[in-house]
Structure formats: structure tokens, C-alpha cells
Homo-oligomer: A and B are copies of this chain.
Amino acid sequence: MSDAYAGRRERVREHCSAAGADAALITRAANVRYLTGCAPCGATLLLTRERVLLALPDDLPADDTGEHLIAADVTQVPVPVSAGVDTALAAAGAAARLGVADLAVEEHDLTVSRHRAVASLAEGARLADLGQVVERLRVVKDEHEIADLRIAAEIADQALGELLESILVGRTERHLAMELERRMIDHGADRAAYPVSVGTGSHSGQPAHQPTDRRVEEGDFLTVVMGAQYRGYGVSTARTFVIGAAPAPWQVELHRLVFRAQRAAREALGPGVEQYVPDRAARQILEAAGHAEASPHPVGHGIGLEIREAPRLGPSDMGKLDSRVPVTVGPGVHLPGKGGVRIEDTLVVRPPEEGGPELLTITTKELLAL
């Protein structure tokens, strides 16, 4: 893996050289991890032509260093953050001592105040904007990264599968959400990729729903939106079920509609496909059924070290998808006061000769009656 990190850093260096920068200061946690293996902990990476310095908080527990899996060729510099020192400032000071004249920084990550302090500590170095160079490198994953995503998806599927075998009626959204988080950790997740959302009855299918104390009742739709993180890599999935023996006709119809929309978006994925195409495929189906306003969100987005990363799959997103880009595809419809359906998968874009999109989250998308 050290080779993979070194290769990624070499590409950042090439970009810096081309842009006339001596060195790059990487502060964004996911980018630091991508280039060093160091899990998010407030570390800052200084990448010069010859050196790789990682300014690390001094209060990392000693026996955690192994867990952080920091690449062996990275020089670790402990910074007394316990005394209030910022690792970015320590790294900027190191840049000054190494004679860096042009330093590229992540202006989308540094606050104005930190940027000013970095400029001051870098003593006369000219600061430039590195922009989203590392984010762009992160879009296409290698097979090691995809293997981690597969494990994250298995964990989420296992946790959800176990929950579906238990009694749900009478339990609260909050309890079910916590139960799912616990089960993902039991199955080896670093953590839930984001707080699990469970919505039942009129809350089902609602975007950004925070679990409440509402209890699951017979006849409810139940929507679960969840993801696991494994070795830093996250996936996301959503399913909607019905509680009790026989779903109502409107529930069957709405579920079938969202299922069709989600399948159309999934089937639209492929290398060379424009980013807006999967969204349009889903949106056309929902709009034809009269749900024009139902889904203001893009149908999906890239996923990996951050739960929402490039590329975005929204109605006006230009640019083409590449092979080995993991994305979410998750349309939904919510009828205020009534409930709704959301169905989401994480898939990896693959060409037809590799079998087309690789589905990572394999829990059934049928309308199960639980």
C-alpha cells in the first residue's frame, strides 16, 4: 500500500511542478488520508519535491499509530496540539525552514484566519491555491479501494438483514437507528458512515429525516437510510418496507414507481455517460407519474473517503463518468403527511465488458412486508 500512497503523492507533485509551486500543504482530512493512510485526526501533510512531512497531533494514543496505517515513507512530526498548536501552522513553519518559496494550499479547506496564520508562518513564501487537485485524483478508485467499499457494503447489508428478521412494530425510529449502528460496528465497521435515518409512517421517504420517538405501526411504510464505513471508505443504501401483512394499493404503486426510477438510473450508469443522464432517467419516470416536485435532490453522487464527493449526478451536471467510480443512486418520493419511498444503492461504474455497473449493496429492493 505504501507504493499506492507514494504514487498518489507523485501525481500531486507533478501538478505542483506544472503550476510552479515548490510544495503543497494538504489539510483536508480525506485528502491527508488518501495520500498517507493517516485516518482523520487533524493531521497536515507537507509535500515538497523531496520530503513528505506529516504534522500529527501529539495526543494520538500510542497504540493507535498502527491502526492509522500511516505509510512507512512518511516522516511523522508530532505537534503539541494539547497546548493549542494547529498542525497546519507547524507544517507551514517546516515549509519555511525547508526554504519553500511557492506553497500551494487548499483554499476550499483553510479558513481565512488559518490561511492568514499559515502565510505568516510560511515566512515570505507565496501562497497559491491547490484547488481540488486531490479530490479529482480520488474520483477513480483502485481495486484496493473498491475492495474496502465492498466490505463496507457487506457490513451494511448484514446489519439491515438482521434487523429485518426482528420484530419491528412498537419500536421507535431512534431505537431502530441505534440498533443498526450497533450492528454495523459489531460486523466490523469503523463506524456508521453517517447517522442512520429511520422514518416510519408519514416520516418515511422524507429527505434528511432525523429519527424521532415515533413508534412503528401496522400498515406503515418504513424507510431506512444507512451506510457503513470500513477503513475510511463509506457506502450508502436506502430501502423502504411495509409493516404488516398486506401493503395498501397506493404503497404498492409508489414503491413500484420509485423502484422503476431507481433501476432506470442504475442502468444508465456507464463509462463515458454524461453525469446528468442517470438523474434524467429517474426523473422522467417520476415526473411522468406526476411527482415533478417530489425530488429536488440529485439522484446520486460519488462516494468513498467522503460520503458525498465528486462526481455529482444532478440534472445539470456535465462531464462524463469513468470506469471504477463508485456512486450512489437513490431517488425517492415523499407525500407530505402520508409517507414515501426511497431506494438507494452504491454501485461502481464498470464497462459492459466487465459486466456493467457493479452493485455493492445487495439487500433486496422488493417491497417486503415485515
Contact = CB atoms under 8 A, between A and B. Distances in A.
Contacts of A298: 82
Interface string A98-118: 000000000111111111100
B61 A207 contact: yes
Given A185-B174, A208-B61, A209-B61, A82 B336 contact: no
A219 interface: no
Central interface residue in A174, A203, A208, by most chain B CB within 10 Å = A208
Interface in A91-138: 107-116, 129
A83 B207 contact: no
Contact of A297 (B59, B114, B297): B59
Given A296-B82, A297-B82, A312-B84, A208 B113 contact: no
A315 to B, nearest CB: 8
A284 interface: no
Interface residues of A, number: 39
Count of identical protomers in the assembly: 2
A338 to B, nearest CB: 13
Contacts of A18: none
Contacts of A289: none
A58 interface: yes
Interface in A209-261: 209-210
A61 B336 CA distance: 10
A43 B111 CA distance: 18
A182 B185 CA distance: 14
A206 interface: yes
Nearest to A208: B59
A246 to B, nearest CB: 28
A112 B83 contact: no
Interface string A41-68: 0000000000000000011111010000
A356 interface: no
Nearest to A113: B108
7 contacts: A61-B203, A61-B210, A82-B296, A107-B112, A107-B116, A108-B111, A111-B111
Closest 5 CB pairs of A and B: A107-B112, A82-B296, A108-B113, A82-B297, A107-B113
